[in-house]
C-alpha cells in the first residue's frame, strides 16, 4: 500500500474515532492508575514463584485463621443475649454458606461472624474467617446486595489474598527459627513490612478481583447482578472518598498531579469507588436474557434467606 493511502486511512480512523468519542461525553480521568495497575500485574507475576514456594496448606491456613479470629474481641452474636443479634448472625451464616457453590479451594471451611458494632464494613481473615459488622447489615437494602459483599470477602480467602499477606512472614519465621530461636518474630516482622511494601502495588487489583468474583458468587447463587453496583455506589456516597480534582493549567502540571496522586495511591488498599462501580456495572451488563435474578428485600428484613423463604415478587430480569 502506498504511504499516502495508509496515511489517509489512519487520519480518517483518528478523526472518526475522536468525533465519536466526543459525542459520547467521555470521562475526564487523567492519572497513573492504569500504569499502576500494569505495574501491579508485573509485580504479581514476578512474585508468583515466591508465593508458590511459601504456600501453606489449607489446614495450616485455617489454623492461623482460627487463631487470629480468637484475638478479635468484638461482641459477636454467640456472646450476645439479644435475640435479634443471634438471628442476624444465623442469617449471615446461612447466606454465606449458600454462596460457596463455585469455590476454587473447596478444602477451606468457612466461618461467618457478626460483630455487634455500627460500623458499615466487613473483612476476611485467612482460613475462611469472615466478619460482618452489624452496621453493614443495616446499611444494605436487599439480600442480593448483602450477598455481593459477602461474596467479595469470600473471594479474598478463596483467591489467597488473605493468606498471601502472611505467607512471607511465616516463611521468614520458619527459616529464621533455627538461627534466632525465640527471637524469630523479628525476622517475621521485618518480612511483614517488606511484603506490605512489595504487595502494595497489587492490593487494588485484589480488590477489583474480589469485586468481580464476589459478584460471580452471588449471581451464581441467583442474586441480582446489579445489586453489587448499587451498594457500592451508596457506600461511595456515604464515605465520599474521592475529591474532584480541577483541570491542570498545562500538560506538565497535569503529569505532575498524576505522579503525585500515583505515589500516594500505591499504599492505598482500596481503589476509588467510582472505578469499582464502573467495573461492576460493566460486569453486570454481561448478564442478559430471560434468566430472572433474586433481590430479596423482604428476606433481609425478616432475616430469612432465599432458601428459607423464596418470594416470587423478588425476582427480576437483568437490567
Partner 1 sequence: MGELFIISIIGAIVVAPLVFLVWTISSIVRLNNRLSAQEAEIGSLQERSTRLQSALRRLERSGESPAAVTHEHEHVAVRRDEVRERPSPATVIDAQLPPVPVTARVARYDNAVSENAPADNEIVDSHPVNTRFNEIEQRSYGNADPGQTVHQRPLRESSASRPDRSSSQGSTDWNSMDFESLIGGNLMNKAGAFLLVIGLALFLNYSFASLGPWAKLASGAVFSILLLAWGVFLERRNGGNLMSVGLIGSGWSCLYLTAFSAHGVTATRVIESPMAGMSLMIVVAAGMIAHSLRYRSEMATGLAFIFAFAALFVAEVSLFSEVAAVIMAISMLGISWYFDWHQLAAAGLILTYGSMLARLHWNAPPARLGPIDRIMFIQSLLAVLWTTYELVGMSFMRRNPASEEITRFLFPMNFFAYLVASLLTWPMVKETPVYYLAGLIMAQYILTGLARGIWCSNPGEAAVEKARLFMGSCEDSLVIASGALCYGIWYLLPAPVVVIGWAVTGLILIEIAYRLPWQLMRFIGHLIVTIAFFRVFIANLDIAGASGGISHRLLTVVPVIFMMLHLYFRTNSELSWEASPTGGTRQFAPAYSYFAVVLAGALVRFEFGPGLTPPVLAVAAVIMTGLGQKFKNWHFRRQGLYLALVAAGYGIANDWHCDSINPVLASPWTIGIITVACLYVCRWLAGKDEMPSADSLLSGMDAFRPHALSLAGSIGLAFLLYIQISGGFLTLAWSLLGMGLLAAGFACKDRLLRFSGLGLVLLCIVKVFLYDARELEAPLRILAFMALGATMIAISWAYTRYKDKIEELLK
Binding footprint of partner 1 on the chain (CB under 8 A): 3, 6-7, 9-11, 13-18, 20-35, 37-38, 41, 44-45, 48, 57, 104, 159, 205, 209, 212-213, 216, 219, 249-251, 255, 258, 275, 278, 282-283, 286-287
Q: How far is the CB of 118 from partner 1 (least distance, A)?
A: 33
289: left (phi over 0), alpha (psi -120 to 50) or beta: left
Backbone angles phi, psi at 30, to 5 degrees: -125, 125
State the minimum distance, in angstroms, from the CB of residue 18 to partner 1.
4
- Tell the smallest beta-carbon distance from residue 147 to partner 1 (Å): 16
Q: How far apart are CA 196 and CA 269, in angstroms?
A: 10
Helices 58-71, 161-180: crossing angle, 10 deg rounding: 90
Closest approach of partner 1 to the CB of residue 176, in Å: 22
Query: Considering only CA atoms, which of 222, 197, 199, 7 is closest in space to residue 102?
Result: 222
Least Å from the CB of residue 58 to partner 1? 10
Smallest distance, partner 1 to C-beta of residue 130, A: 20
Q: Residue 80 or 283: which CB sits closer to partner 1?
A: 283
Nearer to partner 1, 127 or 214 (CB): 214
Q: Strand 129-133: give its sheet, edge to edge.
A: 111-115, 129-133, 122-125
* 111 vs 278, beta carbon nearer partner 1: 278
- Which DSSP string corresponds to 270-288? S--HHHHHHHHHHHHTT--
Whether residue 296 contacts residue 223, with contact meaning beta carbons closer than 8 Å, is answered with: yes
**Which of residues 23 and 269 has its CB atom nearest to partner 1 in the complex?**
23
Distance CA 140, CA 85 (A): 16
Report yes or no: 267 and 200 within 8 Å, Cβ to Cβ.
Answer: yes
Amino acid at each position: 500500500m502506498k504511504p499516502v493511502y495508509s496515511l489517509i486511512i489512519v487520519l480518517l480512523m483518528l478523526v472518526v474515532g475522536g468525533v465519536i468519542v466526543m459525542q459520547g461525553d467521555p470521562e475526564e480521568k487523567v492519572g497513573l492508575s492504569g500504569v499502576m495497575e500494569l505495574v501491579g500485574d508485573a509485580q504479581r507475576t514476578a512474585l508468583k514463584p515466591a508465593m508458590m514456594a511459601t504456600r501453606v496448606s489449607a489446614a495450616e491456613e485455617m489454623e492461623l485463621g482460627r487463631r487470629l479470629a480468637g484475638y478479635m474481641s468484638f461482641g459477636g452474636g454467640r456472646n450476645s443475649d439479644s435475640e435479634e443479634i443471634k438471628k442476624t448472625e444465623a442469617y449471615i451464616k446461612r447466606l454465606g454458606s449458600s454462596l460457596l457453590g463455585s469455590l476454587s479451594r473447596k478444602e477451606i471451611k468457612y466461618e461467618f461472624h457478626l460483630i455487634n458494632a455500627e460500623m458499615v464494613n466487613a473483612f476476611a481473615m485467612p482460613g475462611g474467617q469472615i466478619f460482618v459488622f452489624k452496621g453493614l447489615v443495616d446499611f444494605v437494602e436487599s439480600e442480593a446486595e448483602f450477598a455481593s459483599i459477602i461474596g467479595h470477602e469470600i473471594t479474598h480467602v478463596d483467591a489467597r489474598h488473605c493468606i498471601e499477606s502472611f505467607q512471607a512472614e511465616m516463611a521468614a519465621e520458619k527459616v529464621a527459627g533455627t538461627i534466632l530461636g525465640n527471637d524469630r518474630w523479628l525476622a517475621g516482622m521485618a518480612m511483614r513490612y517488606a511484603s506490605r511494601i512489595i504487595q502494595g502495588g497489587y492490593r487494588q487489583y485484589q480488590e477489583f478481583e474480589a469485586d468481580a468474583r464476589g459478584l460471580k458468587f452471588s449471581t451464581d447463587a441467583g442474586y441480582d447482578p446489579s445489586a453489587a453496583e448499587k451498594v457500592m455506589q451508596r457506600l461511595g456516597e456515604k464515605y465520599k472518598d474521592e475529591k474532584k480534582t480541577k483541570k491542570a493549567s498545562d500538560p506538565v502540571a497535569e503529569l505532575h498531579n498524576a505522579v503525585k496522586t500515583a505515589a500516594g495511591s500505591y499504599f492505598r488498599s482500596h481503589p476509588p469507588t467510582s472505578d469499582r462501580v464502573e467495573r461492576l456495572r460493566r460486569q453486570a451488563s454481561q448478564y442478559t436474557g430471560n434468566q430472572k435474578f433474586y433481590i430479596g428485600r423482604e428476606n433481609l428484613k425478616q432475616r430469612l434467606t432465599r432458601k428459607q423463604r423464596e418470594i416470587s415478587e423478588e425476582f427480576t430480569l437483568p437490567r
